[in-house]
Amino acid sequence: MGLGMGLAPDTLLDVRGLEVVFAQPDGPVYAVNGASFHVRRGEWLGILGESGSGKSVSLLSILGLLGDNGRVTAGEAWFDGEDLLRLPERHLRTIRGRRIGVVFQSVSAGLNPFLRVGAQVMEPMLQHHFCGKAEARQRALALLAEMGIPDPETRFHSFPFELSGGMRQRVMTAVALACDPDLLIADEPTTALDTTVQVQVLRVLRDACARRRMATIMVTHDIGVAANVCDRVLVMYAGMVMEVCPIDEFIERPAHPYTLALRASHLDVRHRRKPLVSIPGTAPVLREPPRGCPFAERCAFAADVCRRERPPLMPLAEPAAAAGTGAPSDRHWVACHRAKEVVALGDHAVVDRR
């Protein structure tokens, strides 16, 4: 149940038409506006997008972790045959932390300041009856060591405030992996880490992903990290999925003007240069549902139709030479009225039209 047309049988999570609204004293905020995405077992999906684009809210909402003022107003989130958005909280709690591990963006949200580190890594294993106490202790120590935490025996007895921000983030990752989850949801899991530790943590996650066929959804601001570890990337803007494709397509054949702008504002993923092109304008906070394309105000390609009609997420045609036919591909999806022209221009689109 729940698997949409064309999805592989090993699809683990299938989110469709997700909408999230926050109530604010001065009116609603439309944070997620019809986002659809999926992840397969063993696959690593990266989520990119500027601050406020709805990355965290999309993930928190399917975990049932929106604050009191947040509400899912539409959508489905099928996880291994169950719609997470319709499960009672009691049932969801048996999945969260056990079958879905979570690394929160905010370190303070992820760890209990009054509980020692070792106890926090053991907690999900004991709570979900994953194993006995002695084994949980051994596993916790092994996970802390795996995360590159020096002297794990000592750190096991530390409180979170005794650790650096980077170490706390690694402890959170250990907590998330404690019960061998099928899916890891990690919101900026390596942002606070220095480069060496970042590589180490990513390697551990990559190994865990491969060994257990664990699927990973990782939010990151770092296109370089996404390019190195992700199988596919999803680009979000104004709570909508603008483009989703395999990482090689993201690098070689981006089809959305926002993806191009985002790439140009970061490390040049192909040439490892840093062109300092910033995206003109700012990301909107939507006080009403988007009517046309929410990127139109900032887009050099915007035409009348863009302001009138919201572009649906559609499969992009394969290059005629590669596919033989130029038929639509189910690998690469894009929400742009002018995607064909954009993909034809490639990176020149950013430079030429400015």
CB-CB neighbours of 26 under 10 Å: 6
Q: Which of 56, 61, 190, 259 binds Mg ion (CB under 5 A)?
A: 56
Touching ligand ATP, residues 31-60 (CB under 6 A):
31, 49, 51-57
Picking from 37, 48, 34, 46, the residue whose alpha carbon sits closest to that of residue 12 is 37
| 285: contact with ligand ATP by CB under 6 A | yes
| 237: contact with ligand SF4 by CB under 6 A | no
Which CB contacts under 8 angstroms, 24+ apart, belong to 121-128?
Answer: 121/171, 121/174, 121/175, 121/178, 122/178, 123/175, 123/178, 124/97, 124/98, 124/175, 124/178, 124/179, 125/178, 125/179, 127/97, 128/94, 128/97, 128/98, 128/179
Please, which residues bridge with residue 184 across strands?
101, 216
Cβ(103)–Cβ(189) below 8 Å: yes
Q: Could you tell which of ligand SF4, ligand ATP, Mg ion, none binds residue 31, using a CB distance below 5 to 8 A set by kind? A: ligand ATP
For ligand ATP, how many residues bind (rule: CB under 6 A)?
17
What the block records as the tokens of 39 is 């992840």
Say how many residues make up the chain.
354
| 27: contact with ligand ATP by CB under 6 A | no
Q: Is 169 exposed, middle or buried (0-12, 13-18, 19+ CB in 10 A)?
A: buried
**CA angle in degrees (0–180, nearest 5) for 21-27-28:** 10
* x/- map, 3-22, ligand ATP, by CB under 6 A: -------------------x
Q: Could you tell which of ligand ATP, Mg ion, ligand SF4, none binds residue 299, using a CB distance below 5 to 8 A set by kind? A: ligand SF4
* x/- map, 250-269, ligand SF4, by CB under 6 A: -------xx-----------
Touching ligand SF4, residues 268-307 (CB under 6 A):
293, 295-296, 299, 301-302, 306
Q: Which of 99, 105, 119, 347 binds ligand ATP (CB under 6 A)?
A: 105
Q: Could you tell which of Mg ion, ligand ATP, ligand SF4, none binds residue 202, using a CB distance below 5 to 8 A set by kind? A: none
CA distance linking residue 197 with residue 178, whole number of Å: 20
Q: Which of 17, 69, 164, 280 binds ligand ATP (CB under 6 A)?
A: 69
For 23, 283, 354, the CA distances from 248, given in Å and listed in that order, are 39, 26, 26
| 337: contact with ligand SF4 by CB under 6 A | yes
**Residue with tokens 């221009």, as numbered in its chain:** 345
Touching Mg ion, residues 82-141 (CB under 5 A):
105
Q: Could you tell which of ligand SF4, Mg ion, ligand ATP, none binds residue 257, using a CB distance below 5 to 8 A set by kind? A: ligand SF4
CA distance linking residue 141 with residue 92, whole number of Å: 28
Q: Could you tell which of ligand SF4, Mg ion, ligand ATP, none binds residue 337, using a CB distance below 5 to 8 A set by kind? A: ligand SF4
| 173: contact with Mg ion by CB under 5 A | no
Contact residues toward ligand ATP (CB under 6 A) are 22, 24, 29, 31, 49, 51-57, 67, 69-70, 105, 285
Contact residues toward Mg ion (CB under 5 A) are 56, 105
Contact residues toward ligand SF4 (CB under 6 A) are 257-258, 293, 295-296, 299, 301-302, 306, 311, 336-338
